[in-house]
Structure 1
């Protein structure tokens, strides 16, 4: 059964919160904002200027929140969870909660179109 627009919006808001909570639970939330230069990176996921968790916190989530607040359409496709899987393969930290939260958010963003 398809969600109406308000249900989809609420589900997206909750999924964004779940990703933020997973960052906090894993102690990956940063209290220091990246520099304007770091935020201006043109590389995918700002890989040249910040860590993947910083990108989620300071670029990805704020962008989605801004789109929701502005009533803008969601991107046609979202697939961030595989990048999280790759990130956690390289770090000795169990990131399954963040990966699952991102997977859910990917599904909701893509379905919102």
Structure 2
């Protein structure tokens, strides 16, 4: 699989984990929220809003256009801090998906999944 295809898989996992954790249903932030200069728009959006309306939207747009992808990503460590208040069952699948996205962007391929 190409890096673009692997990223598409990782994004689908993120959306699925956010839906399962009831984090996908977010109100769209106001337009001015996107103008934030803070990392992850932390001052104008919740992390789930940023994940859905910024990260997923921009990465999907890059995939659709066949654009170059970011070469470095460290989303999962920041998300670990921001999602601490969620139950483990809601938090861990989202974090695993974000680790997958980071890994695809940093290395060009998905992490190998541990066998059950």
Do the structures match in fold with TM over 0.5?
A: yes
* Residue number among 24, 32, 45 corresponding to 1:29 in the alignment: 24
TM-score (norm 1): 0.86
Report deviation, 1:82: 0.5
Within 1, Cα distance between the matches of 2:52 and 2:86?
Answer: 20
For these two proteins, the number of residue pairs brought into alignment is: 107
TM-score (ref. length: structure 2): 0.84
The Cα RMSD (Å) is 1.6
Aligned partner of residue 49 in structure 1, secondary structure: coil
Alignment partner of 2:61 out of 58, 66, 78: 66
- Rounded Cα–Cα distance in structure 2 between residues aligned with 1:32 and 1:14: 25
**Matching of residue 46 in structure 1 with residue 23 in structure 2:** no
Q: List per-residue Cα deviations over 1:34-71 (Å, max 9, x = no partner).
A: 11011221211001111011100000111111111111
Instruction: Show the 5 A alignment for 1:34-113.
Output: 34-89=29-84, 91-94=85-88, 95-112=91-108
Q: Which has the higher contact order (CA 8 A, sep 6+)?
A: 2
CA contact (8 A) 1:74 1:112 kept: no
Which whole-Å CA distance do the structure 1 matches of 2:8 and 2:71 have between them?
A: 18
Aligned partner of 1:3 in structure 2 is: none
Unmatched tracts of structure 2, length 5 or more: 110-116
